[in-house]
């Protein structure tokens, strides 16, 4: 099935997008939401299950206090009001990913509501209004067997692992976000990025998008320019990387614009994003109106957060990422532009960790945003996924500062570490990358270079000290970058009997 797309610029010339994001975050509690089963990722199938999360008759759920606390902390960090009293609700649906035939969720009484999160896009602050933050349980994992695609459509049957069923899941829902105009894809990504950093700072989740512990549903609708009536939206489900959040918004804008410009109408539906093509496809052949028959969960009593508890959690919130960034920007003396570049590259935490490991801020930033960003880009991966640690970068900067390496050699050391050759010191030793500090060896090289460049040598003797650059260059080349350029310069001048 191929769909027509309208080029992005053309689409934006005709239409204005309205965004909405629903983000699911698996909490990093030790045990599940309503039972004591462990939550660790990657266990053999159906080893983290018990009568409660398998919904065996007679079992009863009890809410995990840490999960409630984490949800309130998330709400507070997102500037939400915290409900004085609220309940869980049953969301009824007949899908085997929950063995109960319902999911315990929250409906019209979320634990947290009416907040906001400010994000930086293109040097501007965009305030994303938060509608609600509620707590529910994650579903099991289905594998669809048979059929050509391994997807639910056309499958002969499915097999289900309930290890994930019942892991506490927080859903964070934005209000509709109009007015982003052509920056809609970037705003969506910036929001997901900032939200992830907030979660990390709170320590409530490992927010690994590739493992599904954070996933975004992206809502997009278009309205003709000049109109104030929002169009029909689609919801692209379970987008599992920051880059895909951005790409899915862009491609959905291009797809909807083509349909609308052609006089068609948008079907309100669930869609899926495909990493390989960068396109979304329709989630179901036939969308039926959802009717979950929510009602208050009779097996769980209401939650009534003690105001003193909430006040204490608020007082104990960690420094939030935006505040921390402003503080570190001041400490590091970095421009807004450089801060934004680090943020966009998701390099902020890496630079911070590198500084914490002892590197000067300017050096840490230089390596991550220069050489390593280039290599990540070449490899089509993120900085965080590069097989090198902040501590290793800090060690390289230390070796440069001590004079053992220059920048050129340092790049070779990084290359070696990335290639799996061990620590920076291992690579230096194995590749023999130490700067030549031995004056004897350097002296031999310099004599050769002077002999081969008599013109330049004469100029220097005659007082044109600037010409020494050519000789230093020759020494660096002859030593394959391993000479200490400053020392070489001094020795050349000494040999030619010139003083500065």
Interface residues toward other proteins, by CB under 8 A? 29-31, 35-38, 44-51, 54, 56, 62-68, 85, 87, 92, 94-96, 99, 142-145, 152-162, 284-286, 288, 291, 293, 295-296, 298, 300-306
CB of 110 to other proteins, least distance (A): 16
CB of 290 to other proteins, least distance (A): 10
First-last CA distance in the chain: 74
Q: Are strands 234-239 and 270-274 parallel, antiparallel or unpaired?
A: parallel
CB of 99 to other proteins, least distance (A): 8
CB of 318 to other proteins, least distance (A): 19
Please report the sign of the dihedral spanned by the C-alpha atoms of residue 128, residue 130, residue 131, residue 133. positive
CB of 78 to other proteins, least distance (A): 22
Classify each residue of 281-297 as buried b or exposed e, where b means 16 or more C-beta atoms within 10 Å of its C-beta: ebbeeeeeeeeeeeeeb
C-alpha to C-alpha distance for 465 and 139, rounded to whole angstroms: 74
C-alpha to C-alpha distance for 369 and 250, rounded to whole angstroms: 26
CB of 209 to other proteins, least distance (A): 24
Closer to other proteins at the Cβ: 18 or 67?
A: 67
Please report the sign of the dihedral spanned by the C-alpha atoms of residue 193, residue 221, residue 247, residue 335. negative
Assess contact for 152 and 143: CB atoms under 8 A: no
CB of 300 to other proteins, least distance (A): 8
CB of 274 to other proteins, least distance (A): 18
Q: Taking each helix axis from N to C terminus, what angle separates 321-332 and 184-202, rounded to the nearest 10 degrees?
A: 90
Assess contact for 41 and 205: CB atoms under 8 A: no
CB of 173 to other proteins, least distance (A): 23
Task: State the DSSP string of 257-312.
Answer: HHHHHTT------EEEEETTTTEEEES-SSPPPP----EE-TTSPPB---HHHHHH
Phi, psi dihedrals of residue 268, rounded to the nearest 5°? -70, 115
> Which residue has 């000290």 as its token pair?
465
Q: Taking each helix axis from N to C terminus, what angle separates 439-452 and 468-478, rounded to the nearest 10 degrees?
A: 120
Closer to other proteins at the Cβ: 143 or 277?
A: 143
Assess contact for 5 and 258: CB atoms under 8 A: yes
Closer to other proteins at the Cβ: 222 or 303?
A: 303
Assess contact for 164 and 139: CB atoms under 8 A: yes
Closer to other proteins at the Cβ: 290 or 402?
A: 290
């Amino acid at each position: 099935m191929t769909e027509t797309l309208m080029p992005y610029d053309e689409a934006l010339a005709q239409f204005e997008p309205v965004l909405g994001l629903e983000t699911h975050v698996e909490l990093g509690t030790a045990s599940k939401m309503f039972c004591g089963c462990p939550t660790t990722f990657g266990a053999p199938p159906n080893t983290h299950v018990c009568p409660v999360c398998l919904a065996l008759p007679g079992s009863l759920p009890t809410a995990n206090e840490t999960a409630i606390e984490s949800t309130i902390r998330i709400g507070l960090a997102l500037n939400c009001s915290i409900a004085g009293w609220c309940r869980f609700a049953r969301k009824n649906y007949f899908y085997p990913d929950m063995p109960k035939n319902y999911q315990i969720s929250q409906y019209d009484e979320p634990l947290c509501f009416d907040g906001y999160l400010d994000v930086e896009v293109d040097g501007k602050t965009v305030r994303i209004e938060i509608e609600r933050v509620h707590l529910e349980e994650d579903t099991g994992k289905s594998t669809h067997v048979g059929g050509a695609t391994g997807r639910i459509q056309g499958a002969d049957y499915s097999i289900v692992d309930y290890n994930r069923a019942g892991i506490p899941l927080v859903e964070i829902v934005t209000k509709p976000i109009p007015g982003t105009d052509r920056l809609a894809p970037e705003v969506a990504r910036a929001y997901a990025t900032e939200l992830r950093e907030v979660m990390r700072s709170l320590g409530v989740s490992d927010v690994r998008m590739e493992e599904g512990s954070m996933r975004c549903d992206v809502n997009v609708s278009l309205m003709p320019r000049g109109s104030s009536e929002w169009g029909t939206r689609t919801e692209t489900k379970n987008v599992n990387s920051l880059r895909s959040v951005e790409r899915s918004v862009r491609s959905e804008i291009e797809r909807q614009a083509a349909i609308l410009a052609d006089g068609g109408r948008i079907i309100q539906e669930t869609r899926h994003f495909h990493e390989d093509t960068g396109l979304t496809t329709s989630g179901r052949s036939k969308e039926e109106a959802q009717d979950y028959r929510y009602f208050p969960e009779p097996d769980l009593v209401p939650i009534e957060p003690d105001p003193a508890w909430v006040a204490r959690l608020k007082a104990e919130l960690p420094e939030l990422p935006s505040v921390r960034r402003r503080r570190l920007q001041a400490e590091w003396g970095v421009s807004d532009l450089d801060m934004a570049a680090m943020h966009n590259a998701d390099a902020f935490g890496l630079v911070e960790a590198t500084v914490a490991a002892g590197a000067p801020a300017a050096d840490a930033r230089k390596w991550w945003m220069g050489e390593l960003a280039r290599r990540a880009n070449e490899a089509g991966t993120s900085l965080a996924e590069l097989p090198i640690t902040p501590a290793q970068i800090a060690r390289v900067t230390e070796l440069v500062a001590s004079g053992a390496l220059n920048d050129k050699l340092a790049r070779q050391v990084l290359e070696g570490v990335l290639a799996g050759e061990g620590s920076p010191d291992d690579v230096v030793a194995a590749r023999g990358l130490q700067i030549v500090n031995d004056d004897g060896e350097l002296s031999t090289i310099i004599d050769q270079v002077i002999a081969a460049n008599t013109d330049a040598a004469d100029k220097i003797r005659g007082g044109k000290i600037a010409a020494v650059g050519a000789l230093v260059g020759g020494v660096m080349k002859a030593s394959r970058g391993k000479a200490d350029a400053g020392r070489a310069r001094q020795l050349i001048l000494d040999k030619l009997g010139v003083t500065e």
